Chain A
Amino acid sequence: DTAVSQTPKYLVTQMGNDKSIKCEQNLGHDTMYWYKQDSKKFLKIMFSYNNKELIINETVPNRFSPKSPDKAHLNLHINSLELGDSAVYFCASSQRTGAYEQYFGPGTRLTVT
């Protein structure tokens, strides 16, 4: 049974389009995250939610908007996609905020053409 799942796994779209990535965790965790991994494997945190409340909002263009309908789900909506948005996006969860191990989803590879 998958602990952290993301859909879709691959997403190919054109510049200017709007797209969403969905994430669900069945671990009963309170905290969820979105990370962006670039082509050099650098992992950058974008957002973190704790019990549906935004707690980390890094310097991310406001074209990116996370939404957490409940603590098991954290979705990422991206408006007006740009070439530089091409990356792998990972969802993760942890029991609580801070110094707890994180469980990662399989990633969504976004390609903007």
Chain B
Amino acid sequence: AQSVTQLGSHVSVSEGALVLLRCNYSSSVPPYLFWYVQYPNQGLQLLLKYTTGATLVKGINGFEAEFKKSETSFHLTKPSAHMSDAAEYFCAVSVQGFKTIFGAGTRLFVKA
């Protein structure tokens, strides 16, 4: 069965600093991996996804994530944080034909 773990329920960075949100997954078959963002009082929206092919995936708003099979990780990064990045971020794993499992979420705070 697949599962996903997000390390750190809260992450705080200064504006302009590197953003690193950690996600580890467990899956017995090649997974599809997603990062979603949820702004206050809104639904989730897709940031990026990994299906097959290139392991470095670029998404919206300058975010990217790298699929590392050996480490079973799919960490989300952004070189320079902006105040508007403050939100809740969810990592999710899915295996074709099965449901999508969401992580517990990481709240990103950006300090001025």
Q: Residues of A with Cβ closer than 8 Å to B? A: 4, 40-43, 45, 48, 56, 90, 92, 97-107
Interface size in chain B (residues, C-beta < 8 A): 26
Contact B43 A105 (CB under 8 A): yes
* Residue from A4, A42, A101, A102 in contact with B104 in the complex, judged by beta carbons closer than 8 Å: A42
11 further contact pairs, Cβ within 8 A, besides A43-B105, A45-B100: A40-B104, A41-B38, A41-B88, A41-B107, A43-B102, A98-B94, A99-B51, A99-B98, A101-B46, A102-B100, A107-B41
A45 in complex: contacting residue of B42, B99, B105, CB < 8 Å: B99
Shortest distance between the CB of A23 and any CB in chain B (Å): 11
Let me know if B34 is at the binding interface, CB within 8 A: yes
Q: List 18 A-B contacts (CB under 8 A).
A: A4-B43, A41-B107, A42-B104, A43-B44, A43-B90, A43-B105, A98-B96, A98-B99, A98-B100, A99-B100, A101-B34, A101-B46, A103-B46, A104-B36, A104-B45, A106-B43, A107-B42, A107-B43
For B105, give its contact among A42, A97, A100 (CB under 8 Å): A42
**What number of A-B contacts does a CB cutoff of 8 Å give?**
56
Would you call the interface of chain A mostly helix, strand, loop, or mixed? Answer: loop
Residues of B within 8 A of A90 (CB): 43-44
Cβ–Cβ < 8 Å partners of B99 in chain A: 45, 48, 56, 98
Say whether A99 contacts B43, CB under 8 Å.
no
Q: How far is the CB of B105 from chain A (nearest CB, A)?
A: 5
CA of A101 to CA of B100, assembled, Å: 9
Answer whether residue B95 sits at the interface, using C-beta atoms and an 8 A cutoff: yes
- Contact call B43/A98, Cβ cutoff below 8 A: no
